[in-house]
Amino acid sequence: MRKTIVVYGSTTGTCQEFAEQIAQKLGVSDVKNVADVSADALAEYDNLLLGTSTWGAGELQDDWYDGVEALKTADLSSKTIAIFGCGDADGYSDTFCGGMAEIYNAVKNSGAKVIGQVAADTYTYDDSDAVVDGKFVGLALDCSESEGKSENRIEDWLDSIRPKL
């Protein structure tokens, strides 16, 4: 696997826990809060796994607003990017994991190879800006699901992206 970093934005610690779990399962030691990552730092990596929690009406976690600007100024043309996000389909079913859409929109035309889309029909929710052509733009993790279900979703997602990293 080429040089990989897992970058997350987390307010309550949930997305950070998912990021650390993903990194551990991949054998990646570079796990950073997006607030501590610059465009120059991103240039050092071949693979970027980018995670956010979703707040309010489908917004990014606060630290990601500067992070999105770093993504927009970074040269991502040779990068492989996978996105993951967490949300609450019970409490926020109409904006479930919508924060992933903002990261996706920042990188989709950058020349990077975006991987890791997940079929949306395996989730129960009402709406999400993070669904394109019937798939989430990355791994959606539902904080209201059982821990075992999230773990299985992570394992399946990693199995699908690992060969491309």
Phi, psi of 42 (to 5 degrees): -65, -30
Residue 57 has what pLDDT? 84
Predicted confidence (pLDDT) per residue in 111-144, tens digit: 999 999 999 999 999 999 999 999 999 999 998 8
Residue 109 has what pLDDT? 92
Tell me what the pLDDT averaged over the chain comes to: 95
Residue 10 has what pLDDT? 92
The DSSP result for 140-162, as a single string, is EEETTS-HHHHHHHHHHHHHHHG
Q: Which residue has the tokens 């975006």?
A: 114
Residue 58 has what pLDDT? 86
Q: What pTM does this model have?
A: 0.96
Nearest CA among 49, 37, 47, 39 for reference residue 84? 49
Residues in contact with 39: Cβ distance below 8 Å, sequence separation at least 6, in sequence order? 70, 71, 73, 74
Predicted confidence (pLDDT) per residue in 52-106, tens digit: 999 888 889 999 999 999 999 999 999 999 999 999 998 899 999 999 999 999 9
Read off the tokens for 38: 């610059």
Residue 28 has what pLDDT? 96
Predicted confidence (pLDDT) per residue in 16-43, tens digit: 999 999 999 999 999 999 999 999 999 9
Residue 35 has what pLDDT? 96
Q: Which amino acid is it at 66?
A: D
Is pLDDT above 90 for 148? no
SS3 49: strand
Answer yes or no: are the C-beta atoms of 36 and 63 closer than 8 Å.
no
Residue 46 has what pLDDT? 97
